[in-house]
């Protein structure tokens, strides 16, 4: 895939292996609804133009409210995969979805646990991720467990993030090829 846009999520859910693609179930329906409403790009076009990866490569299991977040050890074991993908793709734009991915891409010093989604969603940020200078647009996790995207502030910041995505040059360049 020749793309300059990379989406990084937390980890596959329980259904992704069955469907053979990331964001293939409930969270994916929400994510692609956001993308289509905010940018006008449908799921099929998005999947054709955006490389999708995850911080952890295996389903980490369930927790009380939903899927368990991958542990630090699980993230570390999978980090080399992301590093190699970034080296090959050389993305200009990373869409970081959810706290785990945002922390991995921006780093814990930039996005510590003391910060919230309000500090990063709706902004275009810059960082060096695995040796590649990239711009980052953060989105909340689209799972039903997360209530933040349903708050007034969450809705406003999500809309702003999608507007930034829609107007980003790497996004527009990729979509012109569809």
Domain parsing of the chain, residue ranges: 5-175
Taking 80 as the threshold, does the pLDDT of residue 14 lie above it? no
CB-count exposure of residue 35 (10 Å: 0-12, 13-18, 19+) = buried
pLDDT value of residue 11:
84
List CB contacts of 11: < 8 A, sequence separation 6 or more.
Answer: 54, 55, 56, 57, 58, 59, 60, 67, 69, 70, 74, 100
Query: How far, in Å, CA of 126 to CA of 37, rounded?
Result: 25
Taking 80 as the threshold, does the pLDDT of residue 60 lie above it? no
Backbone angles phi, psi at 137, to 5 degrees: -120, 120
pTM summary value: 0.92
Which superfamily does 5-175 belong to?
Uracil-DNA glycosylase-like domain (3.40.470.10)
Question: Sign of the CA dihedral 12, 27, 115, 158?
Answer: positive
pLDDT band at 40 (very low <50, low <70, confident <90, very high): very high
């Amino acid at each position: 895939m020749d793309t300059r846009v990379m989406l990084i999520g937390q980890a596959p859910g329980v259904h992704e292996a069955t469907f053979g693609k990331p964001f293939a179930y409930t969270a994916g329906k929400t994510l692609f609804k956001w993308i289509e409403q905010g940018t006008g790009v449908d799921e099929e076009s998005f999947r054709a133009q955006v490389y999708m990866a995850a911080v952890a490569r295996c389903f980490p299991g369930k927790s009380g409210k939903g899927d368990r977040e991958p542990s630090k050890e699980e993230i570390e074991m999978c980090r080399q995969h992301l590093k190699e993908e970034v080296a090959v793709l050389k993305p200009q734009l990373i869409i970081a979805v959810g706290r785990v991915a945002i922390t991995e891409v921006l780093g814990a010093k930039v996005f510590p646990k003391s910060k919230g989604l309000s500090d990063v969603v709706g902004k275009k940020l810059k960082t060096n991720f695995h040796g590649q200078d990239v711009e980052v647009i953060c989105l909340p996790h689209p799972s039903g467990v997360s209530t933040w995207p349903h708050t007034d502030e969450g809705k406003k910041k999500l809309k702003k993030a999608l507007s930034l995505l829609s107007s980003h040059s790497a996004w527009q360049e990729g979509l012109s090829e569809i």
